[in-house]
Amino acid sequence: MKILVAVKRVVDYAVKVRVKPDRTGVETANVKMSMNPFCEIAVEEALRLREAGAAAEVVAATIGPAQSADTLRTALAMGADRAVHVLHDPDPARPLLPLAVAKILRAVALQEKPGLVILGKQAIDDDCNQTGQMLAGLLQWPQGTFASKVLLDKEKQKATVEREVDGGIETICLKLPAVITTDLRLNQPRYATLPNIMKAKSKVIKKVTPEDLNVDIRSDMEVIEVTEPPKRKAGVILSSVDELLDKLKNEARVL
Amino acid sequence: MAAMVVGVLRRGSGYSSGGFGGTSRLLALSLRRFASTLVVAEHEGGFVKPSSLSALAAAEAVAKDNKISLLLGGSGPALHKAADHAASSHPLVSEVLVADSEALAHPLAEPWAELLCSVQQKGGYSHVIASSTSFGKNLLPRAAALLDVSPVTDVTAVKEPRVFVRPIYAGNALCTVKYTGEDPCMMSIRSTSFSPTNKAMSETKVAPITQVDLSFLSEGKSSWVNLTSQDTERPDLANASVVVTGGRGLKSAENFKLLEQLAEKLGAAVGATRAAVDAGYVPNDLQVGQTGKIVAPELYMAFGVSGAIQHLAGMRDSKVIVAVNKDADAPIFQVADYGLVADLFEVLDELLKIPDKK
């Protein structure tokens, strides 16, 4: 069985983002970019499933401009076997929406015929939390979102997924092929070692365009403006618990 | 006013012929074109959940005279009790749709998405709204893909019927988007941004309850096994008016008990940072932040929390924030209204000694 993993290049999670003065978006020029943390977890899980003998091949895919190839190289250095790069240079005013990404990934999935597609549960830039669910819907495959544990049964062609839901952990069972999205708790992604980074340079990245895949990219969403969130007014540092209780009771009136 | 128009329409539709009936149908059409919303509701113990009541408030924010249909699914007597509750939950609710099937008894995305599509295709709603709970986030995008439309995640404000505000980059920027696609305009709403309405319902206003025809349901590709829930006596984290949160500074699961004692005293819910969850001090459904729960209580007290971007994303809209931390440079102090630079264990000790008044 083959596992397809979708990865996204985003502004590094530790960067304090700045809104552009013209309010068209967030400053991404000269900002450190990395693989979306949830996507790293997706790659790690696919590799672990391969190492456990549940899968034979791990294929990483991304959609984005030429620089996104770096993100694929990271996935290859972690241990993915090969990669597919769907080249798309987005118009900053019309970023690629999850629906378009899901349609492109469906086309890739129909070519690659994986038994499982693993994605992160959300990208930390748009915070949408949609692509995996949409891909599963388009493929008419079952979905196991927000996974914190995945067990594959090759014989029965089943996946048992523990999901992080409000109020606890839910366990569901999916018939393969299926789509799984990862939560933070699923695993601890490995670091790519230097020899593996060197080896990754000779692994194959296949380049295609949305046109090659016959996917029509349209957008039904317009970004009107991006603004800074309202600033909280400066607080005060108090000297004692008594003072705190007094303030909470008599000034903020929340106790 | 809206209720009056609907009232006239109802009476009007009683006439099978004649000018009045025709006009009312036209009126109904134009009203529908303006805004008719399907709210996908969750229920528990025979009641519509508070997060779904927030979704009703969001539907009202879309249009003052919105005609709301409320969709409830599941099976058994609790479903029908919840439907009765739903029928009188908001003055704008004009219809409650009940989908009663074993296939919908658990929140599996596959049958639920089929249900949502079928109901949308019959009803032709202009908007579909669910709350950004794990249920809503799992279901809505799947249904949207089946309907070939883009949904909007985690809406915090409705500016116009199709213009919304939503946080991006862990709440470090706010994005205003306009939906320009076909009907329906689908969105999940952040329930802490919409207060459930307390509008008094008139005694006579009870929306009709209709059973949904479920013959379209196909054989399931997924099945539900079980749910391990964290039973807790305290208020639900997402809806509590006071939240006390602990971070890595608490040092152990044992020490978290102190926080629980304080929570008990204040009638508060307990939250945690990712660091505290990863260290195994508390279960992960208590995590507050970009990847955990989003809370906006009246009072948020953070003990031993540094204030990472991802954590702030989950609590920055709290009304009053109190931070207790030894490190005076911790970023949490930049958002705190009241800060104590002190050993959290000493502060907790003192707080626990306050005599109970209530």
Contact across the interface for B145 and A102, Cβ inside 8 Å:
yes
Least confident range of B13-27, B167-181, B213-227:
B13-27
Place of tokens 């509701």: B41
> Which residue, B332, B268, B271, B281, is CA-closest to B305?
B332
Contact across the interface for B138 and A167, Cβ inside 8 Å:
no
DSSP run (H or E) holding B186 = strand B185-189
Highest mean pLDDT among A218-232, B148-162, B227-241: B148-162
Contact across the interface for B222 and A221, Cβ inside 8 Å:
no
What Rg value do the Cα atoms of chain A yield, rounded?
A: 21
Residue B212 pLDDT exceeds 50: yes
Residues of B in contact with A92 (CB under 8 A): none
> Which residue, A176, A15, A186, A18, is CA-closest to A109?
A176
Burial of A57 (0-12, 13-18, 19+ CB in 10 A): middle
**Whether the Cβ atoms of residue B306 and residue B327 lie closer than 8 Å to each other:** yes
Alpha-helical regions (H) of A68-215: 69-78, 98-112, 131-139, 194-200
Instruction: In whole angstroms, give the CA distance from residue A244 to residue B322.
Output: 9
Q: Where are the domains of chain A?
A: 2-251
Instruction: In whole angstroms, give the CA distance from residue A52 to residue A154.
Output: 11
CA distance B22 to chain A (A): 35
**Whether the Cβ atoms of residue A126 and residue A95 lie closer than 8 Å to each other:** yes
DSSP per-residue string spanning B225-263 = EEEEE---SSPPTTT-SEEEEE-GGG-SHHHHHHHHHHH
- Supply the pTM of this predicted model: 0.90
Quick one: pLDDT at residue B136? 97
Per-residue pLDDT of B270-302, as tens digits, reads: 999 999 999 999 988 899 998 889 999 999 999
Q: Pseudo-torsion of CA B130, B134, B135, B140, nearest 10°? A: 50
Question: Topology of A2-251 in CATH?
Answer: Rossmann fold (3.40.50)
Backbone angles phi, psi at A152, to 5 degrees: -105, 135
Q: Where are the domains of chain B?
A: 36-211, 242-353
CA angle B124-B39-B71, nearest 5°? 85
Query: Best mutation site among B337, B349, B356 for testing chain A: the one with the most A CBs within 10 Å?
Result: B337
What is the average pLDDT score of chain A? 95
Per-residue pLDDT of B77-131, as tens digits, reads: 999 999 999 999 999 999 999 999 999 999 999 999 999 999 999 999 999 999 9
What end-to-end distance do the CA atoms of chain B give, in Å?
A: 43
Quick one: pLDDT at residue B244? 97
- Check residues B257 and B354 and name the one with the higher pLDDT: B257
Instruction: Give the percent of chain A with pLDDT over 90.
Output: 88
Quick one: pLDDT at residue B355? 73
Place of tokens 């692509």: A131
Q: In what order do the strands lie in the sheet with B152-155?
A: B152-155, B185-189, B127-131, B36-40, B67-74, B93-100, B209-211
Superfamily of domain B242-353: TPP-binding domain (3.40.50.1220)
Residue B232 pLDDT exceeds 90: no
Please give the structure tokens belonging to residue B178. Answer: 């306009």
DSSP per-residue string spanning B93-128 = EEEEEEEE-GGGSS--HHHHHHHHHHHHHHH--SEE
Contact across the interface for B338 and A98, Cβ inside 8 Å:
no
- Nearest-CA residue of chain A relative to B265? A255
Residue A238 pLDDT exceeds 90: yes
The mean pLDDT value for B327-338 works out to 96
Same fold yes or no, B36-211 and B242-353: yes
Instruction: In whole angstroms, give the CA distance from residue A178 to residue B311.
Output: 31
Cβ-based neighbours of A239, under 8 Å, separated by 6 or more: none
DSSP code at position B330: -
ipTM of the complex: 0.96
Residues of B in contact with A137 (CB under 8 A): 113, 141-146
Instruction: In whole angstroms, give the CA distance from residue B171 to residue B314.
Output: 8
Residues of B in contact with A165 (CB under 8 A): 107, 134-135, 227, 285
Q: Which of B145, B335, B340 is facing A138, going by the closest CB pair?
A: B145
Instruction: In whole angstroms, give the CA distance from residue B300 to residue B270.
Output: 10
CA distance B87 to chain A (A): 25
CATH number for B36-211: choose from 3.10.100.10, 3.40.50.620, 1.10.10.10, 3.30.1700.10. 3.40.50.620
What Rg value do the Cα atoms of chain B yield, rounded?
A: 23
Residues of A in contact with B229 (CB under 8 A): 167-168
Residue B6's pLDDT band, with cuts at 50, 70 and 90, is very low
Per-residue pLDDT of B260-277, as tens digits, reads: 999 999 999 999 999 999
